[in-house]
Amino acid sequence: MTTAAVLAILLPFAAAAAGLLGSRFPKGLRGGAADAAANRRAAWIAIVPTAVSTLLTIWLAYSIRTGQAAGGGDWLSRFTGSAGTARVATASVAVDTGSVPISIGLLVDGLAATIAVLVTVVALAVQVYSVGYLRDDRRYPSYSAFISLFTSAMLLVVYAADLLVLYVGWEVMGLCSYLLIGHWWEDRANSRAAVKAFLVTRIGDVGFLFGVFVLGTAAGGFRIADVLAKLPELPPGTILAAALLLLAGVAGKSAQVPLYTWLPDAMAGPTPISALIHAATMVAAGIFVVARLYPVFLASGPALDVLAVMAALGMLGAALAALAQDDLKRVLAYSTISQLAYMAGALAVGSRDAAVFHLITHGAFKALLFLCAGAVIHAVGSNLMSAMGGLRRGLPVTFAAMTIGFAALAGLPPASGFFSKDEVLAAVERSLSAGHLAAPVALLLYGCALATVAVTGAYATRAWLRTFFGERAPSGLPGTAVPEPGPSAALESAPPAAVHEAPPVMRWPIIVLAVPALLLGLPGVLHIHWGTAVLSVALALLGAGAVHTVWRSDPRRDPARLLGPLRRPCERAFSVDALYRAVFVRPTLLLAYVVARADGRVVDGAVRGSGRTVTGLAGLVRRAQNGNAQLYVTGLLAGVLLLAVGAVMLG
Partner 1 sequence: MNWLPVALLAVPLAGAVLLAVPVGSTTRERWFPRYGLAVSGVALALSAALAAAFDHDDPARMQFVTNLPWIPGLGLRFHLGVDGVSLPLVLLTALLTFLCFAYLCRGRPAGSGRAPAPGHPATPPPGSPSTPSPGDSPGAASGRPSEPVGGGRPRALVFTLLVLEVGMIGTFLALDLLLFFVFFEVVLIPMYFVIAVWGGHRRRAAATKFILYTLLGSVVLLLGLLLIWAQTGTLDMTALARAHGTGMSRAAQILAFLAVGAGLAVKTPMWPLHTWLPDAHTEAPTVGSVLLAGVLLKMGTYGFARIAVPMLPGGATVLAPWLGAFAVIGIIYGSLACLAQRDLKRMIAYSSIGHMGFVLLGFAALTPAGFNGALFGNIAHGLITALLFFVVGSIKERYGTAEIPSLGGGMLARLPRLGSVLTFAAVASLGLPGLAGFWGEVLSLLGAFRPAAGLPRSLYLVFMALGGLGTVLTAAYFLSMLSRVTHGRPVETVHAPVLAAVGPADTGGTGDMGHTGGAGNAGSGEGTADAGNAGRGRGYGRRGIRDVAPHELVAWVPLMALILLLGLWPKALLDVTGPVARSLLGAP
Which residue ranges make up the site for partner 1 (CB under 8 A)? 21-32, 34, 93, 95-100, 104, 164, 167-172, 175, 178, 182, 185-186, 188, 190-192, 194-195, 198-199, 202-203, 206-207, 209-210, 213-214, 217, 588-589, 591-593, 595-597, 599, 603-604, 606-607, 611
CA distance 160 to 648: 86
- Smaller CB distance to partner 1: residue 433 or 615? 615
- Smaller CB distance to partner 1: residue 242 or 391? 242
Please state whether beta strands 93-95 and 102-104 pair in parallel, antiparallel, or not at all (unpaired).
antiparallel
- Smaller CB distance to partner 1: residue 39 or 82? 39
Least distance from C-beta 194 to partner 1, angstroms? 8
Least distance from C-beta 12 to partner 1, angstroms? 14
Q: Which residues of 562-586 are buried (b: 16+ CB within 10 A; e: fewer)?
A: bbeeebeebbebeeebeebeeeeee
Three-state secondary structure call for residue 39: helix
> Cis before residue 485, ω within 30 degrees of 0?
no
All residues at 6 or more sequence positions from 114 whose CB lies less than 8 Å from its CB, including other chains: 61, 80, 81, 356, 360
Least distance from C-beta 136 to partner 1, angstroms? 15
CA angle (166, 167, 170) in 5-degree steps: 90
Q: Which residues of 208-234 are buried (b: 16+ CB within 10 A; e: fewer)?
A: bbbbbbbbbebbebbbbebbbeebeeb
- Smaller CB distance to partner 1: residue 602 or 624? 602
Least distance from C-beta 597 to partner 1, angstroms? 8
88 strand-pairing partners: 108
Least distance from C-beta 585 to partner 1, angstroms? 9
Least distance from C-beta 195 to partner 1, angstroms? 4
- Smaller CB distance to partner 1: residue 18 or 111? 18
Start-to-end C-alpha separation, the chain: 96
Residue 367 φ/ψ, nearest 5 degrees: -60, -40
CA distance 412 to 202: 36
Least distance from C-beta 216 to partner 1, angstroms? 8
- Smaller CB distance to partner 1: residue 31 or 564? 31
Least distance from C-beta 558 to partner 1, angstroms? 33
CA distance 272 to 270: 6
- Smaller CB distance to partner 1: residue 93 or 636? 93
- Overall residue count recorded for the chain in this entry: 651
Q: Are 243 and 303 in contact (CB under 8 A)?
A: yes
Least distance from C-beta 290 to partner 1, angstroms? 20
Residue type at 209 in one-letter notation: L
Q: Are 524 and 424 in contact (CB under 8 A)?
A: no
- Smaller CB distance to partner 1: residue 199 or 576? 199
> Cis before residue 414, ω within 30 degrees of 0?
yes
- Smaller CB distance to partner 1: residue 96 or 233? 96
Least distance from C-beta 613 to partner 1, angstroms? 14
For residue 68, what is the enclosing H or E element? none
Three-state secondary structure call for residue 491: helix
CA angle (645, 650, 651) in 5-degree steps: 95
Q: Are 26 and 32 in contact (CB under 8 A)?
A: no
- Smaller CB distance to partner 1: residue 584 or 632? 584
Least distance from C-beta 138 to partner 1, angstroms? 9
> Cis before residue 495, ω within 30 degrees of 0?
no
Least distance from C-beta 224 to partner 1, angstroms? 17
Least distance from C-beta 595 to partner 1, angstroms? 4
- Smaller CB distance to partner 1: residue 93 or 582? 93
Please list the alpha-helical segments (H only) found in 299-438. 301-324, 328-348, 352-380, 396-410, 416-433
Residue type at 526 in one-letter notation: L
Least distance from C-beta 580 to partner 1, angstroms? 13
The dihedral through the CA atoms of 586, 587, 590, 592 has a sign that is negative
- Smaller CB distance to partner 1: residue 35 or 423? 35
- Smaller CB distance to partner 1: residue 138 or 529? 138
Q: What is the DSSP string of 496-562?
A: GGG--PPPHHHHHHHHHHHHHHHHTTGGGGGG--HHHHHHHHHHHHHHHHHHHHHHHH-TTS-GGGG
- Smaller CB distance to partner 1: residue 75 or 185? 185
